[in-house]
Amino acid sequence: MRNIQELFSLREKVVVITGGMGLLGKTYAEAIAIANGYPVIADIKLNGAEDFIKILEHETGGEGFACEVDITSEKSVQNLVEQTLEKYGRINGLINNAALTVAKGGTEFKDYFSAFENYPLKLWQLALDTNLTGMFLVTREIGKQMKKNSDGGSIVNVASTYGVVSPDHRIYQGTKSQYGEQSINTPIGYATTKSAVLNFTRYLATYWAKYKIRVNTLTPGGVFAGHDKTFVNNYSSRVPLGRMAKEHEYQGAMIFLLSDASSYMTGANLIIDGGWTCW
Ligand SMILES: NC(=O)c1ccc[n+]([C@@H]2O[C@H](COP(=O)([O-])OP(=O)(O)OC[C@H]3O[C@@H](n4cnc5c(N)ncnc54)[C@H](O)[C@@H]3O)[C@@H](O)[C@H]2O)c1
């Protein structure tokens, strides 16, 4: 009889999480530690990482490691790989989770939510650099290391429902941004790059299958993070399950994709969106 706990175990597995200090990145780090793996929290901003790791180690009895990285820089990505190998000697899993998101973009760039007709070239390019070129660099460098493992590895690329369908622009009407003056929306660069993640996944799934490196996409739906009431109502009315996601609701899927529980799965897109893309 198979032991189901063993099937979902990440015992001795070293998993790099880009954007590991973000809203969802932290929940993945926690889940990996609970599954007995070693999360490597890789982020351009490590503010609070030390405290987060202390809490994580205390709560899970596991171990965490943080490394600063700018995924858009080749040199910085190589440094992340070197530091991880120095600490653990191997890399078994990768979550390509860092992105230019509404939360980060909205707070840092006033024109992030501009209308398409005036959309700034620099922000379109920044979305491409972060969401695609960053994913390319990290995957290239870490995949090289995974090829050396006799049991390959598992790569999870994080997309979005807006990489599968267009945003419904009507849900932003009458909303107030929690980040500043403008109402929020989903900019073109975000949706376009998230769509490209799906075929980036399929390409590498077929390319690296012979090395037992599995590559899958996780497509999350919107997570509640202090949005205003109008937005929450507009969003929820479009979701068959009638609500936004809670941040921990992707942990189970992530452990499934990283572990042997998904050993016959590659090139797939696991959509978890309360049913948003069903209709
Ligand atoms: N939160 C949601 O509702 C939602 C929905 C669908 C998909 N997603 C996807 O899930 C992933 C995580 O989302 P989140 O809500 O946790 O976002 P977040 O903004 O909280 O976290 C993203 C993290 O990426 C880091 N980052 C940005 N640029 C970087 C760079 N150049 N190098 C290294 N790190 C960098 C940021 O510092 C941040 O910690 C993203 O790919 C996002 O598109 C999120």
Cβ(271) – ligand 1 distance below 6 Å: no
Q: Kindly give the distance from the C-alpha atom of residue 273 to the centroid of ligand 1, in angstroms, as a whole number.
A: 17
Q: For residues 41 and 15, is the Cβ–Cβ distance under 8 A?
A: no
Q: Pick the residue with more confidence: 232 or 103?
A: 232
DSSP β-bridge partners for residue 96: 157
Cα 51 to Cα 15: distance, rounded to the nearest angstrom? 20
Q: What is the pTM of this model?
A: 0.98
| Average pLDDT of every residue of the chain | 96
Cβ(191) – ligand 1 distance below 6 Å: no
Give residue limits of the domains in the chain: 4-102+131-165+189-226+246-271
Q: What percent of the chain has pLDDT over 90?
A: 91
Query: What is the CATH architecture of 4-102+131-165+189-226+246-271?
Result: 3-Layer(aba) Sandwich (3.40)
Cα 22 to Cα 8: distance, rounded to the nearest angstrom? 24
Q: SS3 of 94, please?
A: strand
| Separation of CA 28 from chain center | 9
- Best residue among 18, 21, 24, 244 to mutate for probing ligand 1, ranked by most atoms within 8 Å of CB: 24
Q: How confident is the model at residue 15 (pLDDT cuts 50, 70, 90)?
A: very high
Cβ(101) – ligand 1 distance below 6 Å: yes
What's the order of all strands across the beta sheet hosting 269-272?
65-68, 38-43, 14-18, 93-96, 153-158, 213-220, 269-272
Beta strands in 58-199 (DSSP E): 65-68, 93-96, 153-158
Q: For residues 94 and 156, is the Cβ–Cβ distance under 8 A?
A: yes
Q: Are strands 65-68 and 213-220 parallel, antiparallel or unpaired?
A: unpaired
Q: For residues 267 and 202, is the Cβ–Cβ distance under 8 A?
A: yes
- Confidence at residue 1, expressed as pLDDT on a 0 to 100 scale: 76
Q: What are the pLDDT digits (tens) for 51-100?
A: 999 999 999 999 999 999 999 999 999 999 999 999 999 999 999 999 99
Q: For the residues 102-131, what does the mean pLDDT come to?
A: 90
Q: What are the pLDDT digits (tens) for 205-223?
A: 999 999 999 999 999 999 9
